[in-house]
């Protein structure tokens, strides 16, 4: 994998962890905010961008980890964790591992 792909997966993980943290605080459907996500999850690389966060929210929506209303160019502005999303976020494993485990074909 390359650095851009690694970052994309890391952003997805960060958004999922942030959503779990917000849900734990009582905010079931918070407004996506790249700066708030970075602060909450301790994002160390270069700051998150709105586009990265929007792409991550769209991915999480397509995979069934969040629910909400997609808005073109914004992603899922007020995502809410699904049961599957909460399970994955609580497990603390990187999403990339979760996806790979689903790709196994017998």
Report DSSP state, residue 3: H
Q: 50-62 vs 34-41: helix axis angle to the nearest 10?
A: 80
> Among the listed ranges 28-32, 47-51, 59-63, 94-98, which one has the minimum average pLDDT value?
94-98
Which pLDDT belongs to residue 67? 97
Contact 59, 12 (CB under 8 A): yes
> How many other C-beta atoms are found inside a 10 Å radius of the C-beta of residue 65?
25
Q: What is the mean pLDDT of the chain?
A: 91
Q: Please report which confidence band the pLDDT of residue 106 belongs to, taking 50, 70 and 90 as the band edges.
A: very low
Model confidence pLDDT, tens digit, residues 58-96: 999 999 999 999 999 899 999 999 999 999 999 988 998
Q: What is the pTM of this model?
A: 0.89
Residue 1: what pLDDT? 63
């Amino acid at each position: 994998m390359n650095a851009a792909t690694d970052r994309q997966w890391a952003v997805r993980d960060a958004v999922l962890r942030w959503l779990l943290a917000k849900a734990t605080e009582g905010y079931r459907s918070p407004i996506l905010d790249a700066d708030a996500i970075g602060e909450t999850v301790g994002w160390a690389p270069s700051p998150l961008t709105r586009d990265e966060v929007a792409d991550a929210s769209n991915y999480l929506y397509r995979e069934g980890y969040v629910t909400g209303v997609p808005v073109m160019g914004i992603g899922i502005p007020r995502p809410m964790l699904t049961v599957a999303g909460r399970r994955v976020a609580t497990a603390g494993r990187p999403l990339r591992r979760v996806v790979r485990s689903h790709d196994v074909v017998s």
